[in-house]
Structure 1
Amino acid sequence: MTEDDETALSRPQRRLLRRIYNGRTEPIVVEGLAFLTYKEASRYLLTLTEEAREAAYQEMKRQAG
């Protein structure tokens, strides 16, 4: 993943994802896929369309809360 790919997520989204996945021992499951690290989650989100990305991000956020 390049620095340009990373910017496809907004800064607040990247910060929250880092917080959510920091030290996580139980994965967050979105659309049948389990994510345990920030890198896994961000790679997945970057493969999605903008609408699907936002929905998956909101689901990760909901499960972390």
Structure 2
Amino acid sequence: MLDEATQSLSRPQRRLLRRIYNGRTTPIIADGKPFLTYKAAKQYLQGLTPEARDAAYLEMKEKGK
């Protein structure tokens, strides 16, 4: 099991995700899964390995622009 430090998102990552998902009406597709809310995206990212988390985060960041 991964320790809490490796599972958590950094503060800048959390802030950007909140901005991306605030008031969103169309989902962002990352890793083939739709995410419409910050909470759903955060839970998904925290369940990934650090490398996969970074890749999925970057995909969300690019598609959220």
TM-score higher than 0.5: yes
Counterpart AA for 1:60: M
Identity, % of aligned positions: 64
Q: Which runs of 5+ in 1 are unaligned?
A: none
Query: 2:53 aligns to what?
Result: 53
Q: What pairs with 1:1-65 in structure 2 (closer than 5 Å)?
A: 8-65=8-65
* Alignment gaps of 5+ in structure 2: none
Deviations 1:17-64 (A, max 9, x none): 000000000000011110000000000000100000000000000001
TM-score norm. by structure 2 comes to 0.88
Runs of 4+ in 1 over 2 A off after TM superposition: none
TM-score normalised by L of structure 1? 0.88
